[in-house]
Amino acid sequence: MKPVLLAAFAALLPGVTLAAPIREEGAARRGLAVYHQVCSVCHSLSHVEIGDLAGLGLSDRQLRDLAADIQVAGPPGPDGTPTTRAANLSDRLLSHFPDEASARAANNGALPPDLSEIARTRQGGAHRIFTLLTGYTDPPKGVSVPDGQFYNAATHTHLIAMPPPLADGAVTYDDGTNPTLAQEAHDAAAFLAWSADPHRSARHWLGGVTIAFLAVLAGLVFALKRRVWSRV
Amino acid sequence: MTPATRLDLDPDQAPEPATGSWLERRLPVGRALRREYRDYPLPRNLNALWFFGAFAVVTLAAMIVTGICLALHYTPTEAGAFDSVEAIIRRVPSGWILRSVHMAGASCFFAVLYVHIFRGLYYGSYKAPREVLWLSGFVALLMVMATAFFGYVLPWGQMSYWGAVVVGNAVAAIPLIGHPLAGMLLGGDAPGAATPMRFFVLHMLCGGLICAVLFIHIAALHVTGSNNPAGIEPRSPADTLPMHPFYTTKDGVGLCLFLAVLLGLAFLAPALLTEADNYLPANPLLTPPDITPEWYFTPFYALLRSVPSRLGGLLLAGAALAVVAAVPWLDRAPTRSARFRPLARPAWFAMAASFLLLGLAGSHEATGFWLWLGRLAGLYWFLHFLVLLPLIARIERPLPLPTSLA
């Protein structure tokens, strides 16, 4: 029975690592820039607090700079008018639209989905996000695209309500990476993969350590068991 | 008729004289523990399938510890439930570890219980004198199923919500009391504002009840003693070994491997066991294209959907469980272990296969092939328990039984 179990584990491991190859801390950090400069215009990341971005390896200083750059709704002014204030680390990355109706009104009736878990809830995960972001092309001859829709080879209907968000040079990276469309899409996908599974690397490390520990312990207990049972 | 008094007892059975420490003389817990968990005689031929009872106890303990920690951070409201679970997996310190283990633990609990139950069915562990042991285990299974369902609804994702809708509809299909009962359960006509708090309370309550039923299950086990692969009672002291050190070390090896599976699933392959749709917040206006329960409920889900009647489906799913509870009275063959039963043995494999096929059917859309596969597998399930087992008991000629376990 034991070799069977071990073999089952060995078979699982490569599948686990293959599951999400778009994943690298530098890429995810650059993806934050893509999100901040482009995606966040329409989308939200409403379950992520700015402080959570420390998980991407951002320093406290970088987080505070980012927070200072984000405006959120503040308390009403003395005469009841809405105000804004600079965000702090416990603020979430909410949508800029105050409600669903105004978000739809600004987007041809379509509601930009929240991106917190999108790499998990959309089939294909980060890969799908990458192909979607790079899937905009001119429609083939004879295909008509309705108003407010765009041709995208990566969707089922080949139509999507989101206008092409990325292009060469659409983002400014502060690490000097050349912002090509493919680079931006890859980084955005890596960032959203992080958002959907923020403890992935710690999880894998813990899983590896736990199994290694239990394997050693199982060996020791097995030796003990053999000694005890040699008496009967 | 005179009531039995202590004096009527066999002297060998009389309580031991109160000796030992101050506490032991007043509450002989230490002595009881030594008797029941160190010296307790177990058949010497138990195989790895007897690990799974211990696995279930350990899983339950892990579920209670992680569950209490999660409960401290959970908000049982319609507006707050999903957010609080997101906060647990994102920023509560070690929250993601607790939740991963709790989720993998739920799946492992069912896997372990199913192996435990099918082991009992194979080796005839339900037969006299272990009927009460079997029934107490059956009640524990029902409690675990209820707890798992209530718990699955708590994160208030799409599958949580629509799972609650499906079960609410099934309950509402009960004649007369169905509608009020479903209303009381959900706190309204559909899952809504009152549901998370109700399910939170019921989840914790049922979790506690599992412990109580488990206590009775283990007490009943220690009265009759464990069955064993040969299915014959130990006849002499040579047939048994004390629990410690023999089965503590043997179970210890199994436990290390089991924990490696549980924690491996939790940390390396959580996506195997989770429905991604449940990370979408509950949306009462948007029915998911296919409502799929967790794998452990799929056999019963297949039965629920196998007939075009809600009540009929509910009755079938309930009856599929009831026949398992009734198996000590359906299978009257005196031989316990299927090893010595040339007809019951293949029948067991066919029955186990029908359960797996039911599960497979329940995890697919209920149309065409899968619908009919579920119907046939369900039919065989009932055929096995209601027709084959009683019939085999009459016509089967068992192989000669061994005379000792040594």
On whether both A123 and A68 belong to a single domain, the answer is yes
Q: What is the pLDDT of residue B14?
A: 53
Which residue is catalytic, options B100, B294, B306, B331?
B294
On whether both B323 and B284 belong to a single domain, the answer is no
Which of B249, B255, B265, B275 would you mutate first to test chain A, the one with the most A CBs within 10 A? B249
Q: How far apart are CA B72 and CA B66, in angstroms?
A: 10
On whether both A177 and A83 belong to a single domain, the answer is yes
| Domain extent at residue A80 | 23-127+166-198
Q: What is the pLDDT of residue A6?
A: 53
Query: Average pLDDT of chain A?
Result: 90
Residue A96 is assigned to a ligand binding site: no
Q: What is the pLDDT of residue B19?
A: 74
On whether both B271 and B374 belong to a single domain, the answer is no
Between the alpha carbon of residue B314 and those of residues A177, B84, B139, B160, B176, the distances in Å are: 60, 33, 18, 20, 15
Boundary of a domain, candidates B265, B291, B317:
B291
On whether both B304 and B281 belong to a single domain, the answer is no
Q: How far apart are CA A33 and CA A70, in angstroms?
A: 13
On whether both A183 and A215 belong to a single domain, the answer is no
Asked if A117's CB is within 8 angstroms of B256's CB, the reply is no
| Domain extent at residue B382 | 293-406
Asked if A214's CB is within 8 angstroms of B257's CB, the reply is yes
pLDDT digits (tens, 9 = 90+) for A112-135: 999 999 999 998 999 999 999 999
In a domain, B25, yes or no: no
Q: What is the CATH number of the domain that holds A190?
A: 1.10.760.10
- Overall domain count for chain B: 2
CA distance A81 to chain B (A): 27
Nearest residue of A to residue B252, measured between CA atoms? A221
Between the alpha carbon of residue A73 and those of residues A45, A101, B34, B170, the distances in Å are: 16, 17, 65, 45
B208 touches chain A (CB under 8 A): no
Q: Is the pLDDT of residue A73 over 60?
A: yes
Asked if A229's CB is within 8 angstroms of B260's CB, the reply is no
Average pLDDT score over residue span A215-230: 98
On whether both B247 and B311 belong to a single domain, the answer is no
Return the axis-axis angle of helices A200-229 and B248-268, rounded to nearest 10°: 170
On whether both A52 and A67 belong to a single domain, the answer is yes
Residues of chain A positioned with their CB less than 8 A from the CB of B62: none
∠ CA B297-A121-A48, nearest 5°, is: 120
Residues of chain B positioned with their CB less than 8 A from the CB of A117: 279-280
On whether both B239 and B331 belong to a single domain, the answer is no
In a domain, B27, yes or no: no
Tokens of B181: 């009962």
Q: Provide the β-strand partners of residue A73.
A: A84
pLDDT digits (tens, 9 = 90+) for A175-201: 999 999 999 999 999 999 999 999 999
Q: How far apart are CA B327 and CA B318, in angstroms?
A: 15
In a domain, A48, yes or no: yes
Peptide bond into B129 cis (omega under 30): yes
pLDDT digits (tens, 9 = 90+) for B44-86: 999 999 999 999 999 999 999 999 999 999 999 999 999 999 9
How would residue A68 be classed by pLDDT, with cut points 50, 70 and 90?
A: very high
Tokens of B22: 């101050």
Boundary of a domain, candidates B268, B291, B314:
B291
Of A12, A49, A218, the CB nearest to B257: A218
Query: What is the number of alpha carbons within 13 Å of residue A2 lying toward its C-beta?
Result: 11
User: Would you give the DSSP letter of residue B239?
Assistant: G
Residues of chain B positioned with their CB less than 8 A from the CB of A232: 44, 241, 246
Average pLDDT score over residue span A14-23: 46
CA distance A61 to chain B (A): 19
Residues in chain B with pLDDT values less than 70: 1-18
On whether both B281 and B358 belong to a single domain, the answer is no
Q: What is the pLDDT of residue A230?
A: 96
Q: Is the pLDDT of residue A14 over 90?
A: no
Maximal CA-CA distance, chain B: 71
Of A48, A121, A210, the CB nearest to B276: A121
Boundary of a domain, candidates B253, B271, B291:
B291
Q: Is the pLDDT of residue A23 over 60?
A: no
Q: How far apart are CA A75 and CA A88, in angstroms?
A: 14
* E strands, chain A, in order: 45-49, 71-73, 84-86, 92-93, 150-151, 159-160
